[in-house]
Amino acid sequence: MPNIFEPQNPPAESSPPCFDFSHVAGELEESRKRLSAVFDTVQVGIVIIDAESHTIVDANPKAIEMIGAGKDAVVGSVCHCFICPEESGHCPITDEGQRIDNAERQLLRPSGDAITIVKTVARVKLYGRDHLIESFLDISDRKRAEEELRMSEERYRDILENANDLIQSVDAKGNFIYVNNAWKRTLGYSDQDLASMNIFDVIKPCCQSHCATMFDQLKSGAKIPRVEVEFVAKDGRSIILEGSINCNTSDGQVSTRGVFRDITERKQMEAELTQSEDRYRKLFENAPEAILVQSGGRYVCVNKQACQLLGVERPEDVVGQSIFNFVHPDYHAMVVERIQHIQATGEPSPMREQKIVQKDGTVIDVEAVSTGIVFQGQEAIQVIIRDITERKQVEEQRRELNARLEKMVEEKTRHLKEAQAKLIQSEKMATLGEVIAGAAHELNNPLAGILGAIQMLRSNALAHPIDPELMEGIDVLESIESAAVRCQKIVEDLVRFTTQARCNFSDMDINEVLKDTLEIMAGPFEEQKVKVKLQLDPEVPRIEGDFVKLLEVYVNLLQNAKSALPNGGRIDISTGLVKKYGEPLQVSVVIRDNGCGIPPQNLAKIFDPFFTTKPAGKGPGLGLTVCYGIVKRHGGDIDVRSTVGKGTEVTVIVPVRQQKGGTYQGS
């Protein structure tokens, strides 16, 4: 289709004009050429559309370029196929009567995509028909730039609003222009609060003068790279901030921008660290133990106690020296191993004993524990050393004492064996005495009859005349009488020998008697699987008693308890102090077993001589009788309580002090 601005054949006139329009035609031709040049070169897309058919009748090169199709494909096509997304019959201009002037629209392209344009539509009449002249400008780059700007602003706003630092903008009068969320969250002020506030309302009074000076300096062009200030939060808390402030001038208006970081917690930690360092320094300097810090194999710091331990006057005499100067040569390898262990694992080295050499050459025993630390920014090892020379001496004394005690124990054991032998002998003699006493009773009667018969025979013989045969018989009677009298005398001597002697009292510990008793009975108890629980009251006082005879009492009682436990069992032994109103202090020994028990009919006879429930040959039944007599001679008593099938409890009570008149031998 020819250019709409090219000359067209005018319709035939019925009669020629009556005047000359040649100069007008020339001007029109010139105007047409100018318009055609503009139409072809303008950087705005222009299309001319038949308003009735919506057919594109012409398009300039820029429009063809923007549409992205050849001019032959564009011109003659319906506009809805390219430049207008509306469907046929819904044209905003011709069908809906809209006016489009610099309106943002979408330009369709054959590829199916669209570009954003600004379009203006004008209605004109060409060659007697209504036409639409649409001009449009590609604003895709501008829209992309606007979108990028919008996203950049959103990112900037997101950074400001979500930054952990406090950001503020203040005008020249100190009124707030902007604060971010972190600022409001930290100080607790709302937008309504800030609308009526000034920057100096939140600056702590002690900092206001300094801040005013800084604002004046900023206005004069000075730069302040770092500032520390205290703000007052809404709840009255003091917030310490650190940051930077700069000045901004826009359109002749001066404002300041500030970016701050809340360092309140850091300041508190610094204060606590300072206090901690002060406490550590005082602890280090005044510690009762020697503390040394070494790095790189040399001492870098020591306290006063370390100086005293090493035998030097000042820390300077140690600092800088090799750690091996004061370590005994025998322990150099151990020290190296401890250092390597700490450096490799970071764990403290456990307490170990070693020797160190003082400045004057004296070797002392110490124990040391080491741990890794950081000293003046360098890795170091802290060693705490304790002088154990006195402890070593005490340990040596204790070893010597233990040796003496062992010797005393050996001597005590020997005495105990002697006492045991005496006890066995005493028990043997007691048993023999009872047997002899019984036998003497049986022998005295026939001996008395024999002596009586001899006297009667002698009287009868003397009544007859004396002859040699009679004298021979009298001599025989005298021999018999002499033998009988001799037997009677022997029986009397045996009875006198077996009579119990008086007790020899001395100062003694009843708990020690029981310990010795258990040592004697340990073997029989172990053979019979009898378990013994000993509960000795350490508060029980020493008593006046016969050690050997009381030992005999407790051995007899434990033997009886063992006999009640043929299949093994348990025996409980305890001591205690007995206090009764109006009576002297007494000591009790309770022996309790869980054996078969004593029948009630036998309980009243257990102290009778020769009473026994053992089989024949297993004992004469004198044990409890002897025990009873010994306890009674001590001024004490024995109480026996028993339940068949549950066990027996024997309580022996003796006074702490004997009444005057007893045979007492002080220890």
Per-residue pLDDT tens over the stretch 574-597: 999 988 777 889 999 999 999 888
- Number of helical (H) and strand (E) elements in the chain, helices listed first: 17, 22
* H-run or E-run covering 235: none
Phi and psi of 591, rounded to 5°? -120, 115
In whole angstroms, what is the distance from residue 116 CA to residue 98 CA?
19
Query: What would the two tokens of residue 530 be?
Result: 């009898």
What angle (nearest 5°) sits at the alpha carbon of residue 244, between those of residues 239 and 247?
Answer: 120
The tens digit of pLDDT for each residue in 529-544 reads: 999 999 999 999 999 9
Q: In which residue are the tokens 């020290």 written?
A: 335
When pLDDT is cut at 50, 70 and 90, the band that residue 617 belongs to is very low
**Residue 602 predicted with pLDDT over 80:** yes
In whole angstroms, what is the distance from residue 148 CA to residue 156 CA?
12
More confident residue, 594 or 159: 594
* H-run or E-run covering 444: helix 389-462
Instruction: Please answer whether residues 83 and 47 qualify as being in contact, where contact means their C-beta atoms are separated by less than 8 angstroms.
Output: yes
Instruction: Please answer whether residues 569 and 530 qualify as being in contact, where contact means their C-beta atoms are separated by less than 8 angstroms.
Output: yes
Give residue 499's pLDDT: 47
Give residue 574's pLDDT: 93
Edge-first strand listing for the sheet containing 530-535: 530-535, 569-578, 586-593, 647-655, 637-643
**Residue 378 predicted with pLDDT over 70:** yes
The average confidence (pLDDT) of the chain is: 81
The tens digit of pLDDT for each residue in 181-225 reads: 889 999 999 989 998 999 999 999 998 888 888 888 887 778 888
Give residue 86's pLDDT: 66
Instruction: Give the single-character DSSP code of 500.
Output: P
The residue-averaged pLDDT of 249-260 equals: 81
CA distances from residue 194 to 171, 257, 328 in whole angstroms, order as listed:
13, 16, 73
**Residue 475 predicted with pLDDT over 90:** no
The residue-averaged pLDDT of 246-253 equals: 78
Q: How many CB atoms lie within 10 A of CB 409?
A: 12
More confident residue, 292 or 461: 292
**Residue 616 predicted with pLDDT over 70:** no
Query: What would the two tokens of residue 203 be?
Result: 């600056």
Query: What would the two tokens of residue 462 be?
Result: 């003397």
In whole angstroms, what is the distance from residue 292 CA to residue 284 CA?
9
**Residue 32 predicted with pLDDT over 90:** no
In whole angstroms, what is the distance from residue 63 CA to residue 138 CA?
10
pTM value?
0.38
Q: In which residue are the tokens 């066990």 written?
A: 647
Q: How many CB atoms lie within 10 A of CB 18?
A: 5
**Partners of 84 in the beta sheet?**
none
Instruction: Please answer whether residues 304 and 285 qualify as being in contact, where contact means their C-beta atoms are separated by less than 8 angstroms.
Output: yes
Domains in the chain, please, with CATH?
22-144 (3.30.450.20), 163-267 (3.30.450.20), 287-387 (3.30.450.20), 393-498 (1.10.287), 506-655 (3.30.565.10)
When pLDDT is cut at 50, 70 and 90, the band that residue 90 belongs to is low
The residue-averaged pLDDT of 278-304 equals: 87
Give residue 37's pLDDT: 84
Instruction: Please answer whether residues 487 and 479 qualify as being in contact, where contact means their C-beta atoms are separated by less than 8 angstroms.
Output: no
Torsion angle (degrees, nearest 10) of CA 596, 599, 604, 607: -30
The tens digit of pLDDT for each residue in 106-143 reads: 887 877 788 888 888 888 888 888 888 888 888 888 88
Name the percent of the chain lying above pLDDT 70. 85
Query: What would the two tokens of residue 48 be?
Result: 């001319």
Name the percent of the chain lying above pLDDT 90. 18
Instruction: Give the single-character DSSP code of 300.
Output: E
Instruction: Please answer whether residues 626 and 611 qualify as being in contact, where contact means their C-beta atoms are separated by less than 8 angstroms.
Output: no
In whole angstroms, what is the distance from residue 86 CA to residue 259 CA?
53
The tens digit of pLDDT for each residue in 442-459 reads: 777 787 778 888 888 778
What angle (nearest 5°) sits at the alpha carbon of residue 310, between those of residues 308 and 314?
Answer: 60
Give residue 491's pLDDT: 63
Instruction: Give the single-character DSSP code of 43.
Output: S
Give residue 421's pLDDT: 47
Instruction: Give the single-character DSSP code of 80.
Output: G
Query: What would the two tokens of residue 287 be?
Result: 């510690």
Cβ burial of 101 (10 Å; 0-12, 13-18, 19+) is exposed
The tens digit of pLDDT for each residue in 487-528 reads: 776 666 445 444 444 678 889 999 999 999 899 888 888 888
Q: How many CB atoms lie within 10 A of CB 299?
A: 22
- Identify the sign of the CA torsion 444, 446, 452, 458: negative
When pLDDT is cut at 50, 70 and 90, the band that residue 429 belongs to is very low
